[in-house]
Structure 1
Amino acid sequence: MSDLPKAALFDMDGTLLDSEKLWDIAMGDLAVDLGIEMTHELRESTLGNSMNDALTKVFAAASVPVDDRDYPGRGAWLRDRVSTLFTAGIPWMSGAREALDMIAAQGIPLALVTNTERVLTEQALDTIGRDRFAATVCGDEVPVGKPAPDPYLRAAHLLGVDAADCLAFEDSPTGTQAATAAGCAAIVVPSAAPVPAGPRRTIRRSLLGLTLAEVAAAFNGTMGHREDLR
């Protein structure tokens, strides 16, 4: 198909892997350790965030004074907790593996674009498969993580294409904002928080049953808001 994107850029947590549930456990444990409960609203606000942005929101909810916020220490604690949870295995999101295979079969290069730090991403790639991607971009490898466009712009640059010629796959408001700010069209499967409709955003309930015709329609902005899909 000539109207397919030149590259496909995939988020990881909640898009390819059902790992947000594991982050839920770790973030809940962090909140308890700081003396608060991880409410639905607080957890939703941290979805897709960089490590520092997520920690900032939890610190603020726990009323930790700015000068007492131990970003390196708490970041290491959270990283170790998630790593332990990852070790037990990370399930795929429904239809995600098939979507990767279908797009790759067209000769379209794939990139992984995540706010997760490199050390945890490498662990998750044991499940996804490193050889699927021509490039991987992690949250600790760009000046500013999602919702800034930096991760998506870097991925497009590494693939040698313009971001406007790419189709992103996302699950969170934060990640979707980053993708569209970079100029990408996006297929969005909200995992735990609603994502507002917008230009060049196609909302699906799942990646299950995704077709090449739908990929082309999403890239060209002719599909729109499709909550009727799986």
Structure 2
Amino acid sequence: MDGTLVDSEKVWEIALHELAAHAGGTLSPEARHAMIGSSMANSMRILREDLGQPDRPEAPDVEWLTDRVFELFGEGLVWRPGAMELLQAVRLAGLPTALVTSTGRRLVEVALKTLGAENFDVVVVGDEVSMPKPDPEPYRTAATLLGVPIEDCVAIEDSPTGVASALASGAAVLAVPAELELPPTDGVHLRTSLVGVDPDYLAALLVNRGLLPTER
């Protein structure tokens, strides 16, 4: 969701920098980058280490950050290039579709006001799995709920954490970097955007299983 379908990583960046200031510190660029695509628990661990406050209680920070992002998400989210068109085409083609995100349920429900809850048969969120990304559990859970073998799925991701999860799950992986550069990786097809991607393109990824040339 974040960075793949909507340009919400910039919203998270605002809120995380505000949280660091609220805690009396400054969030480093390195720490912020490490948080992209990660779970809330891991992001809070990175924040504490970055601020030099290892004993800082986690729960109040999670509540503060969630409230702030909830407020910012409520103001509306901007689609990533080609994402809305692809999602519409996938739904028109009748393909089972899952949203698989590290973001928690409360914030996802707000984001779905932009994305359209009707566009997803299944929604797997970060606070409802035992092992979040980069573990493959979220994607495998989504495939199971869809009733589709994971090998017949295409996962679309934007971050190293998400790509690792999708690749380990056994899905075909299409990666479109947003905030972080993604290096060429075996089994991962790279594009600069989702513009021009349609259901036939996704089907070709499954047929070729990563053999298509990387596009820049």
Give the shorter-chain TM-score range: over 0.9
**Secondary structure of the corresponding residue to residue 45 of structure 2:** helix
| 2:119 aligned residue | 132
| 2:7 aligned residue | 18
Of residues 31, 53, 56 in structure 2, which corresponds to 1:42?
A: 31
| 1:170 aligned residue | 157
Deviates further, 162-171 or 193-202: 193-202
| 1:70 aligned residue | 57
| 1:117 aligned residue | 104
Contact 2:90-2:198 at 8 Å conserved across structures: no
> Could you tell me the percent identity over the aligned residues?
43
Aligned mates of 1:206, 1:226 — CA distance in 2: 9
- AA at the equivalent of 1:30: L
Aligned mates of 2:64, 2:180 — CA distance in 1: 25
Aligned mates of 2:201, 2:215 — CA distance in 1: 11
- AA at the equivalent of 1:40: P
1:191 aligns with 2:141: no
Q: TM-score, normalised by structure 1?
A: 0.89
Measured against aligned partners, the alpha-carbon deviations of 1:135-173 in whole angstroms (never above 9, x if no partner) come to 000001100111111110100000111212110011111
Q: TM-score, normalised by structure 2?
A: 0.95
Measured against aligned partners, the alpha-carbon deviations of 1:82-135 in whole angstroms (never above 9, x if no partner) come to 011111111111110111112222221100000000000001001111111110
How far apart are 1:13 and its partner, in Å?
0.5
Contact 1:137-1:151 at 8 Å conserved across structures: yes
Aligned pair count? 214
Greater relative contact order (Cα < 8 A, sep 6+): 1
How far apart are 1:212 and its partner, in Å?
3.6
Contact 1:201-1:218 at 8 Å conserved across structures: no
1:103 aligns with 2:90: yes
How far apart are 1:37 and its partner, in Å?
2.1
| 2:138 aligned residue | 151
- AA at the equivalent of 2:28: T
How far apart are 1:23 and its partner, in Å?
0.4
Runs of 4+ in 1 over 6 A off after TM superposition: none
**Secondary structure of the corresponding residue to residue 197 of structure 2:** coil
Contact 2:27-2:50 at 8 Å conserved across structures: no
Measured against aligned partners, the alpha-carbon deviations of 1:31-62 in whole angstroms (never above 9, x if no partner) come to 22233322222111000111000000010111
Contact 1:17-1:93 at 8 Å conserved across structures: yes
- AA at the equivalent of 2:8: S
**Secondary structure of the corresponding residue to residue 144 of structure 1:** coil
Unaligned runs of 5+ in 2: none
Of residues 39, 46, 64 in structure 2, which corresponds to 1:57?
A: 46
